[in-house]
Amino acid sequence: MKQEIDFIKFNPTQNMTILVKTYYPVEEYKHIASKIMSYDSVHAEQVGFIEKTVSDKAAAHLQMAGGEFCGNACMSMAAFIASEKKLKQYDMTEVLLEVSGSDKLIKCQVKKNEDEYYCQVTMPIPKKIEQRTIMYEGCNLEIIIVRYHAFIHIVIEVEELSNKVRKKAQSFAKLLGVTLGANMIGILLYQSKTNELTPLIYVPHLDSMIWERGCGSGTASLGAYLAWRKNGEIIAKIKQPGGSITVVAKCHEGDITSLKIEGSVGIVAQGKAYLEV
């Protein structure tokens, strides 16, 4: 027996994202997400579900499969709403979203370009940013901890991206997934000389670990750290394997006061998927 699922597939900086339009109970999200993400199905890095809103101010409710917050999925949801509105070329619209992992509505501005949408998302503000030196695998490891309501990002500055560095990041993410109880763990490997970010995202609930080609929430966390370090405003185009995402962040007296990301989203497929129950 197979389930029929209505879906839309998006390309935000090659962080391939599927949004499911068909209603299913929350307890089925994990199964559906793991199936539809797989190589022999629609294939993507993450899955969100479009639900009914609680607030009458929100245009949609986006629930990620692992309960995490995702900036690129917010961009994708906003782009879909703009496409449903039949937004004309170079016109702009603004939408508010309810999103898992955030207790506040997320504001998105969307502009229709030739064959894609350019989105700006007002991101959740970190609860705390701190710098620590920890002992890990017999070595001192300098890390930046960016804490949110339901997830955590770790920024680690690296000189190069060797297999050893990647494996160390993966084992560190697994360890944090066990010890912290967060919905999502992000290990953000940052090469400051070239302004390059290589994001590893681990969702313990789904046991999903992916080296993402572009990470919106990771870009925001890196921008928050850079503004916090400067204790001022930064605007940075962060290069990632799938392209660049721009972050705009402001810090005043040690507190992040504003955090936004900007990037392009393409709608690459829409239709039905058939999954084994």
**Whole-Å CA distances, 152 to 128, 149, 221, 239:** 10, 8, 9, 21
pLDDT of residue 83: 95
Structure-token pair, residue 183: 């919905």
Share of the chain above pLDDT 90, in %: 84
pLDDT of residue 162: 92
Per the prediction, the chain carries an average pLDDT of 94
Which CATH superfamily does the domain covering 128-263 fall into?
Answer: Diaminopimelate Epimerase; Chain A, domain 1 (3.10.310.10)
Residue 50 CA to its chain's centroid (Å): 16
For the chain, domain boundaries: 2-121+265-276, 128-263
74 noted as active-site residue: no
Which whole number is the average pLDDT over 96-103?
A: 93
Is a pLDDT exceeding 70 seen at residue 211? yes
Are the CB atoms for 36 and 5 separated by under 8 Å?
yes
Structure-token pair, residue 137: 């695998």
Q: Could you tell me the pTM of the whole model?
A: 0.91
Residue 95 binned pLDDT confidence (cut-offs 50, 70, 90): very high
208-211 and 196-203 as β-strands: parallel, antiparallel, unpaired? antiparallel
119 noted as active-site residue: no
128-136 and 117-122 as β-strands: parallel, antiparallel, unpaired? unpaired
Residue from 74, 108, 215, 251 carrying the catalytic annotation: 215
Separation of alpha carbons 11 and 266, rounded Å? 5
The pLDDT tens digits of the residues spanning 105-163 come to 999 999 999 889 999 999 999 999 999 998 888 888 899 999 998 899 999 999 999 99
Which CATH superfamily does the domain covering 2-121+265-276 fall into?
Answer: Diaminopimelate Epimerase; Chain A, domain 1 (3.10.310.10)
Residue from 70, 74, 119, 251 carrying the catalytic annotation: 70
